[in-house]
Amino acid sequence: DAAFVIAIDGPAAAGKGTLARRLADHYGFAFLDTGSLYRAVGLQMIIEGSDLDDAQKATETAARLDLGLIGDPRLRAEETGGAASRVAAVPGVRAALLDFQRQFAGHPPGDTAGAVLDGRDVGTVICPDAPVKLFVTASAEERARRRTLEMEGRGEAADYAAILEDVKARDARDMGRKDAPLKPAEDALLLDTTNLAIDAVFLRAKSFIDGKL
């Protein structure tokens, strides 16, 4: 039997990661944070001192990606997120990461019956036939507020205005690129989390999914 795929897309800090983990946990499905792959490419380029605007270099780095970087604490840094969104605009990078993501969705590790993938183009490009597609959004201000609290929670210095600028710049890059731009799939359930707590978001997603299982 084909694995049951839940595709979750949306902009940075909208709450898709939290929702994806909870759903994977609830249904006993495998979970893949596809953003971590792009972050790993960005981080590898930073570590190797590569020019982030060099598309050829980015493509070549993605082709020999060190998956061990996915556990690296530097993966979550704002700088890495920025680098990720730059290399993610390179078609060669996206092509290099496509197979891994499709393999994961088609044959989730641990022999689970399904997989939850979160990212920007899971429902539109990676798994267009997924039975469940969710598009999770929130206002840029709310997402910047959450990022700020999250960083402060980790004891890091956080500047709301700078974070808001960064959120907006990343949105523009993710939505404006030619290859696999961030947008909801036609049949995606839209979940705006600006004024919705995670429990409410989870319940809404769960009832949608239970209707398709």
| Residues contributing to the annotated binding site for ATP | 10-18
DSSP state of 121: S
For ligand C5P, the closer of residues 88 and 163 by Cβ is: 88
Rounded to an integer, what distance in angstroms lies between the CA atom of residue 96 and that of residue 100?
Answer: 8
**What would the 3-class secondary structure string for 170-206 be?**
HHHHHHHCCCCCCCCCCCCEEEECCCCCHHHHHHHHH
Pairing of strands 4-9, 132-137: parallel
Binding-site residue numbers are 10-18
Among 174, 185, 201, 209, binds ligand C5P (CB under 6 A): 174
Q: Is 121 in the site for ligand C5P (CB under 6 A)?
A: yes
| Sign of the dihedral defined by the CA atoms of residues 98, 89, 159, 157, in that order | positive
For ligand C5P, the closer of residues 12 and 151 by Cβ is: 12
Tell the burial category of 34 from Cβ atoms under 10 Å away from its Cβ (0-12, 13-18, 19+). buried
Please answer whether residues 201 and 140 qualify as being in contact, where contact means their C-beta atoms are separated by less than 8 angstroms: no
Q: Is 29 in the site for ligand C5P (CB under 6 A)?
A: no
Among 170, 185, 205, 209, binds ligand C5P (CB under 6 A): 170
- Site size toward ligand C5P, by CB under 6 A: 15
Q: Is 85 in the site for ligand C5P (CB under 6 A)?
A: yes
Q: How far is the CB of 71 from ligand C5P (least distance, A)?
A: 14
Q: How far is the CB of 202 from ligand C5P (least distance, A)?
A: 19
For ligand C5P, the closer of residues 65 and 88 by Cβ is: 88
Q: Is 147 in the site for ligand C5P (CB under 6 A)?
A: no
| Sign of the dihedral defined by the CA atoms of residues 206, 138, 183, 88, in that order | negative
Tell the burial category of 20 from Cβ atoms under 10 Å away from its Cβ (0-12, 13-18, 19+). buried
Q: Is 142 in the site for ligand C5P (CB under 6 A)?
A: no
Window contacting ligand C5P (CB under 6 A); options: 104-112, 114-122, 127-135, 203-211? 114-122
Q: Is 146 in the site for ligand C5P (CB under 6 A)?
A: no
Q: What does the angle CA 169 – CA 126 – CA 100 come to, to the nearest 5 degrees?
A: 100
Binding residues for ligand C5P, rule: CB under 6 A, are 12, 34-35, 38-39, 81, 84-85, 88, 119-122, 170, 174
